[in-house]
């Protein structure tokens, strides 16, 4: 008996050992594989879904967005009840009852899938889907499924059902570049969430299981079948009536494909905003944190700048001639998206050369295009850039792809200009960039000619030479300079600079040398004060590009960009105070917390780099450029304009940089390659008129509605303390007004150099500045 009992106990012990070992191993496996690596749910309800960052203009206008996933976060109370019910019906009918896992739903899905012989229903709850997408990886394994189940239960214990739904409806991918229901409403139907119909909500609710498979663009019938399934589930739950179901099924859906463009206004400006945002917030993910970026862009100014530049480039491009069709199509319905154009594209169907007409296909509609015999496009531009007379009707053929413009129902032949341009306006007092256009069309070329193109500035660089001379070496607007032929050794060669007109005018005051853009005086001043001094002042003004350490710097031989030169002029016209250029005003989180304010850093970066007196004196000299010099097209401008034209060798670059008391604007026009704009196409002839057209429109807008601008507008530059007005009439110089005299300013410390009488013979002027007389 004892031995039998012993045998039973031994058998029981062996059985326990046999059973416990797998249980221990299973427990260890569960701990190491499932529980030990279980992700933390701390602050799970505050988890930030990747969301769109919005960019706003100065007046709050929405202008663009940055994103990795196009998601617009919607609070639960913003999501219509019909949308909530549609998704619950489609994805998790027992959502309000279960605690994260729906065992009845899993069994039901198993039976349906078994009956259908395919996966038709899923067993995952909405809570599980939130866990899967936010906390866990997409790995398919037993460990991950167990972790998913545990976490789903834990989330249900810590969050309200509404909070879980809010996360899910913002998280779910619905195809068509849409993450979350708010993006889907916008992309599929171009509607706000609150405006969705039952039919539209049901279509969207049918997508999460397989967005590509049920895409209404790829398989509309399958998408409709899925929509009906959702509606039937809603009916089954008593959330809609049968009448509502039938009406929704019959509703005609107007669908749109997502617009992948995220720069809706001022794209060149937005590209710079993005760069600056990454620079000032290096630890932030600009594309996914749902930030709000406020900029300094003034929409009215941007619109005017774009229009002025585009109009000028179109007219200038026409002077070179027509380059012909941009390609051919082999099939009538061929996609034209491969052809780059800033205009609309049309396919030629037939040409009537007798009547000078062409029939073209424009977006699926046949239109008649008049080919006028005296129009610009009858001058053909050959590949070697020769313009020849060749009527377009003589070579235009069927299947040619052409650019056209449609205005007021009139169709005309068009051409995206090859000639390029860049323009920018800043407020020099604070460095705010108010408008920027980096080319004719961002869609054709996103190369920004304001910030990325480095070109010789030509005579537009001369003010920096004269600023160094005035500020450090005692020059004044009346210092006598010599405009005479001279030769210089530059490196291993002899350089003999010439003036634009080929001649020389002898002795003249500095102010006249700058007004008439004489080359030799600028070179001679540079020889006297040294290229290093010029470079030092260029750096003070914010020019960072490499600069030549020789005399050619005087004539703008350095390659710099438009932004640098405009910033430099801004310092000159703002009494010598340097302000870094800024695109961004503030950056806020989605809940309104300010995480970056450029005004705070501006105070630390504002600095006086040139004496106010020197800067103001040069500004006054530069107003002479627009009154009597190379930019007299601006002599009647309604407010004071201080500026300078610039033209480079072979007329390859045309510049005008001009300051009013409130704005500094720069315009550059040229080809991206080193190609001539044409004989005598100078900065004064090409760029100054564009500047005038643009800035006049701005001042007209200001006059019509001053509230659009947050700072007081001024008509004249105000002199600082320490300068006095000087009157010059012929050979007479005086501190007292002289009839018909030209006004300029000098420093008070230079007054002693002038005689008290009203008349000073011209030949004696140099005696007062003999230290600087060449």
The string of pLDDT tens digits covering residues 348-407 is 999 999 999 999 999 889 999 999 988 999 999 999 999 999 999 999 999 999 999 999
Tokens (6 digits) for 683: 């900065």
For the record, the structure tokens of 67 come out as 């994103």
* Residue 755: band (very low, low, confident or very high) from pLDDT cuts 50, 70, 90: low
Residue 518: pLDDT over 90 = yes
| Radius of gyration, CA atoms only, the chain | 36
Average pLDDT over residues 244-261: 92
Structure tokens at 621: 């000299």
What integer is the mean pLDDT of 213-230? 95
Percentage of residues in the chain with pLDDT exceeding 90? 70
pLDDT of res. 530: 95
Quick one: pLDDT band at residue 95, thresholds 50, 70, 90? confident
Average pLDDT score over residue span 468-497: 92
State the pLDDT at residue 34: 44
CB-based burial label for 122 (10 Å; 0-12, 13-18, 19+): middle
Q: Which residues 6+ apart lie within 8 Å of 669 measured at CB?
A: 312, 313, 316, 419, 420, 421, 653, 654, 677, 686, 687, 690
pLDDT at 732: 74
> Residue 29: its pLDDT value, please?
45
Mean pLDDT of 221-239: 95
Which positions are annotated as active-site residues? 91, 459
Tell me what the pLDDT averaged over the chain comes to. 87
DSSP-assigned letter for residue 645: E
Question: What is the mean pLDDT of the segment spanning 727-747?
Answer: 84
Question: 63-82 burial string, b = 16+ CB within 10 Å, else e?
Answer: bbbbbebbbbbbebebbbeb
Contacts of 407 (CB under 8 A, 6+ apart): none
Token digits of residue 510: 């500095």
Counting Cα atoms < 13 Å in the Cβ hemisphere of 618 gives: 31
Per-residue pLDDT at 306 exceeds 60: yes
Tokens of 275: 């760069």
In angstroms, the CA 643 to CA 690 distance is 14
- What's the DSSP call for residue 252? P
CA dihedral sign, ordered 747, 753, 759, 761:
negative
Bridge partners, residue 97, by sequence: none
Q: Cα–Cα distances in Å, from 548 out to 532, 534, 541, 597?
A: 9, 10, 17, 37
Output the pLDDT for position 331. Answer: 83
Q: How far is CA 364 from CA 367, 370, 416, in A?
A: 10, 19, 22
Copy the structure tokens of residue 117.
């012989």
Whether 39 has a pLDDT exceeding 70, the answer reads no
Asked whether residue 760 carries a pLDDT value surpassing 50, the answer given is no
DSSP assignment letter at 563: H
Lowest mean pLDDT among 23-37, 70-84, 275-289, 350-364: 23-37
Residue 535 DSSP label:
H
User: Given a cut of 60, is residue 107 above it in pLDDT?
Assistant: no
Among 123-132, 175-184, 334-343, name the one with the lowest average pLDDT.
123-132
Residue 683 pLDDT level (bands cut at 50, 70, 90): very high
Taking the C-alpha atoms of residue 500 and residue 682, their distance in angstroms, rounded to an integer, is 10
The helix/strand/coil state of 631 is coil
Residue 117 pLDDT: 54
Report the alpha-carbon distance of residue 203 to residue 227 in Å, rounded: 5
Tens of pLDDT, residues 591-649:
899 999 999 888 888 999 999 999 999 999 999 999 999 999 999 999 999 999 999 99
Distances (CA, A) of 15 to 10, 19, 28, 40: 9, 6, 20, 39
Average pLDDT over residues 12-37: 49
Q: Return d(Cα 293, Cα 290) in angstroms, integer.
A: 10
Q: First CA to last CA across the chain, in angstroms? A: 134
The length of the chain is 774
């Amino acid at each position: 008996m004892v031995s039998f009992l012993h045998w039973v106990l031994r058998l029981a012990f062996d059985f326990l050992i046999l059973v416990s070992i797998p249980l221990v191993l299973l427990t260890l496996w569960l701990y190491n594989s499932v529980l030990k690596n279980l992700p933390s749910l701390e602050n799970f309800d505050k988890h930030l879904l990747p969301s769109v960052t919005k960019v706003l203009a100065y007046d709050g206008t929405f202008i663009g967005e940055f994103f990795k996933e196009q998601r617009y976060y919607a609070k639960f109370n913003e999501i219509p009840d019909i949308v909530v019910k549609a998704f619950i019906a489609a994805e998790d009918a027992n959502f309000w009852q279960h605690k994260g896992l729906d065992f009845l739903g899993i069994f039901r899905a198993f039976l349906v899938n078994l009956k259908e012989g395919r996966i038709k229903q899923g067993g995952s709850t909405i809570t599980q889907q939130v866990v899967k997408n936010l906390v866990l990886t997409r790995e398919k394994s037993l460990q991950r499924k167990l972790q998913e189940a545990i976490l789903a239960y834990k989330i249900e214990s810590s969050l309200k059902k509404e909070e879980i739904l809010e996360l899910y409806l913002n998280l779910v991918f619905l195809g068509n570049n849409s993450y979350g229901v708010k993006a889907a409403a916008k992309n599929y139907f171009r509607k706000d969430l609150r405006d969705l119909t039952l039919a539209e909500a049901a279509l969207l609710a049918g997508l999460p299981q397989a967005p590509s498979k049920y895409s209404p663009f790829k398989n509309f019938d399958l998408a409709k079948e899925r929509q009906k399934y959702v509606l039937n589930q809603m009916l089954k739950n008593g959330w809609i009536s049968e009448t509502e179901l039938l009406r929704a099924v019959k509703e005609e859906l107007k669908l749109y494909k997502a617009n992948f463009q995220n720069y809706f206004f001022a794209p060149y400006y937005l590209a710079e905003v993005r760069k600056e945002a990454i620079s000032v917030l290096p630890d932030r993910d600009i594309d996914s944190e749902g930030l709000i970026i406020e900029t300094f862009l003034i929409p009215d100014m941007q619109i005017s700048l774009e229009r002025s530049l585009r109009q000028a480039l179109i007219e200038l491009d026409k002077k070179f001639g027509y380059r012909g069709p941009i390609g051919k199509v082999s099939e009538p319905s061929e996609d034209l998206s491969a052809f780059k154009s800033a205009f609309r594209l049309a396919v030629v169907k037939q040409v009537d050369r007798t009547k000078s007409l062409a029939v073209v296909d424009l977006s699926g509609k046949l239109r008649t295009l008049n080919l006028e015999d005296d129009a610009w496009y009858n001058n053909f531009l050959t590949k070697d850039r020769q313009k020849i007379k060749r009527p377009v009707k003589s070579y235009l053929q069927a299947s040619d792809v052409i650019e056209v413009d449609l205005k007021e129902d009139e169709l005309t032949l068009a051409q995206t200009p090859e000639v390029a341009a860049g323009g920018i306006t800043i407020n020099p007092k604070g460095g705010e960039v108010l408008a920027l256009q980096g080319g004719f069309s961002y869609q054709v070329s996103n190369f920004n000619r304001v910030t990325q193109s480095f070109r010789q500035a030509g005579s537009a660089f001369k003010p920096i030479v004269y600023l160094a001379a005035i500020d450090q070496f005692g020059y004044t607007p009346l210092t006598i300079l010599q405009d005479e032929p001279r030769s210089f050794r530059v490196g291993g060669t002899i350089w003999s600079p010439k003036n634009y007109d080929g001649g020389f005018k002898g002795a003249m005051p500095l102010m006249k040398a700058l007004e008439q853009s004489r080359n030799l005086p600028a070179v001679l001043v540079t020889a006297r004060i040294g290229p290093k001094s010029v470079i030092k002042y260029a750096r003070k003004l914010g020019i960072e590009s490499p600069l030549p350490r020789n005399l050619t710097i005087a004539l703008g031989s350095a390659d710099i960009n438009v932004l640098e030169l405009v910033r430099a002029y801004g310092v000159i016209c703002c009494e010598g105070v340097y302000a870094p250029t800024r695109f961004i005003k503030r950056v806020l989180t989605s809940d309104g917390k300010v995480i970056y304010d450029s005004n705070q850093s501006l105070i630390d970066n504002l600095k006086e780099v040139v004496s106010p007196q020197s800067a103001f004196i040069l500004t006054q000299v530069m107003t002479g450029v627009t009154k009597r010099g190379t930019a007299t097209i601006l002599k009647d401008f309604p407010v004071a304009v201080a500026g300078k034209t610039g033209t480079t060798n072979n007329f390859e670059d045309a510049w005008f940089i001009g300051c009013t008391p409130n704005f500094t604007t720069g315009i550059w026009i040229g080809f991206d390659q080193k190609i001539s704009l044409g004989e005598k196409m100078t900065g004064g002839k090409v760029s100054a008129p564009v500047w005038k057209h643009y800035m006049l429109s701005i001042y007209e807008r200001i006059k019509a509605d001053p509230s659009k601008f947050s700072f007081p507008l001024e008509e004249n530059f105000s002199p600082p303390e320490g300068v006095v007005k000087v009157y010059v009439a012929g050979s007479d110089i005086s501190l007292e007004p002289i009839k018909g005299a030209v006004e300029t300013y000098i420093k008070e410390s230079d007054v002693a150099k002038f005689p008290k009488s009203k008349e000073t013979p011209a030949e004696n002027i140099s005696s007062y500045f003999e230290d600087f007389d060449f």
